[in-house]
Amino acid sequence: MLRLGSSLFALSLSSTALAHAPDIVDELQRVPGLRVLEEQAPPSPDYRFFVLSYTQPVDHLDPGRGTFEQIVTLLHRSTSAPTVAYTTGYDLPIYPILDEPTELVAGNQVSIEERFFASSTPEPADYADLNIFQAASDHHRIIDSLRAIYSGKWLSTGASKGGMATVYHRRFFDGDIDGSVVYVAPNDVDNDDDVYDEFLANVGTEECRDALVAVTRAALERRAEVVPVLDVLATEIGYTFDYVGGADAAYESAAGSLYWSFWQYWLEEDCASIPLPDAPLGELLSFVSNVTGLLGANDLSAIAYYAYNYQAATQLGSPDTSDWLTAIEDLLLYTYDAAEEGTTEAGEAAGGGTTEAGTTEGSPEALIQFDSSAMADIDHWVKNEGHDLIFIYGENDPWSAEPFELGPGTRDSAWYMLAGGNHGASIGDLPDGERLEATNRVRSWAGLRELDALPEPPPDEAIAASDATVARAQRLALRRLPAPLARF
């Protein structure tokens, strides 16, 4: 049995499950290195949904060093339809997620879990094998293997860290893909020259910024009332905080991340919901819980994000918000700098510099050394050789402070900033003219006829009964680059 998140998947399919359409299953099972683990209920009758496993080399430059199993899901529509490669950049939810580009082209979707996340982790886990080239090579091998079945146009997409992975794959294996839609992906070209503090000092209105600082300070000032309650609640749920330094440190992370997380996930119209500093404790904690999650910095979460923290410390870079932190630094009791004593192992990974990584038990230690050339190389490719790219950002999303940008050599590409948008910005949110333009660009990549106009909107009663709000919430939940203070 193979553990996938909270589910256990059998390693073979029952004949009953496959009897109605053995053709695509037979084709999948003929792909070398690919195993069909399970078929689940699809999101609509037009699709079939499969959970797959693909055997990857631990090191693509030295295949003899062993292999691991990478989890992939497939939304199959038709072998003649275009196919979209989708990555979250993290672990992969084992349920059907029909991403926006897939809907726009009525295509198949191959979703890929990133190496070193969840079940797609080599054993032992040597983090020296986690870098953007190795991950891009994973994506390349999967796409190349499935092209024998899905021989039509291939697009790629991802949001947040998944969008970053989408660009990295294009950089190393450009020929795999006919076009890419990249959502809200940061591009930290020079990790020593950040503009995040300037962004945070000017985002939204002054009144909203002041209210967020005030409620953050109030949440930290009242920690003595809160932490004992969190301890009880965590015990009831089964959460622990040993890895992150205790319940008090976890709460500080949650409260300290309020400002960033509000702008990442909420909208300026929500500023009216920010409690006053002297609000009842229940109201204050409800706000913290809704924005950042009171128990979000638990041990399971910290360990799950270790691979991201390692990547941030070695290649991706991470935001410097030290100027903004002066507004609350007198209330912070813990350090978030790897150079300081008292940080946890995962905190060292997030902090940068050269430290020894905390690795899983029995795995070789990995030396964390930041490679300042990695993101500069990616940025150079986008600006000088990139083509058939769409970038979409949200104006108020802190991760948009350092975006990918088109350059003098970028061809057949587009870049959009959604006014007032957050980390959930999408093509569907754009003004009608830009939405039609972006939609047609995606359709042209897929070899489909361009639209003369957007489809007529549904009647008001249908909109009221739709699950658009739910879909938007799901989109935000998957775009989960953590706020800087939330990293341990």
Mapping DSSP onto H, E and C, the string for 84-124 reads EEEECCCCCCCCCCCCHHHHHHCCEEEEECCCCCCCCCCCC
At 318, list the tokens: 């991470």
Please give the pLDDT value at position 244: 84
CA separation for the pair 155, 269 (Å, rounded): 35
* Residue where the block lists tokens 């998944």: 162
**3-state SS assignment for residue 279:** coil
**3-state SS assignment for residue 77:** coil
Alpha-carbon torsion (330, 335, 339, 342), positive or negative: positive
**3-state SS assignment for residue 339:** coil
At 282, list the tokens: 């229940």
Query: Could you tell me which residues come within 8 angstroms of residue 45 by beta carbon, excluding any fewer than 6 positions away?
Result: none
Nearest CA to 156 among 137, 178, 171? 178
- Tell me whether strands 389-394 and 179-183 are parallel, antiparallel or unpaired: parallel
Residue 253 to residues 96, 246, 263, 345: CA-CA distances in angstroms?
32, 11, 16, 16
CA separation for the pair 182, 184 (Å, rounded): 7
Please give the pLDDT value at position 466: 52
CA separation for the pair 24, 379 (Å, rounded): 39
**Full-prediction pTM beyond 0.85?**
yes
Q: Do residues 430 and 416 lie in contact, with contact meaning Cβ atoms separated by under 8 Å?
A: yes
Q: Do residues 96 and 40 lie in contact, with contact meaning Cβ atoms separated by under 8 Å?
A: yes
Q: What are the per-10-residue average pLDDT scores of the chain (488 residues)?
A: 38 40 86 97 95 98 97 97 96 93 98 97 95 98 97 97 98 98 97 95 98 97 93 92 91 95 96 96 93 90 91 95 94 66 33 35 58 98 98 98 98 98 96 98 97 80 54 64 60
- Tell me whether strands 414-418 and 389-394 are parallel, antiparallel or unpaired: parallel
Reported as half-sphere exposure (CB side, CA atoms, 13 A), residue 206 has a value of 0
DSSP 8-state symbol, 39: E
CA separation for the pair 340, 354 (Å, rounded): 12
* Residue where the block lists tokens 């939405």: 435
Reported as half-sphere exposure (CB side, CA atoms, 13 A), residue 308 has a value of 25
CA separation for the pair 423, 476 (Å, rounded): 7
Which domains, and CATH codes, for the chain? 2-187+375-454 (3.40.50.1820), 196-370+482-486 (no CATH)
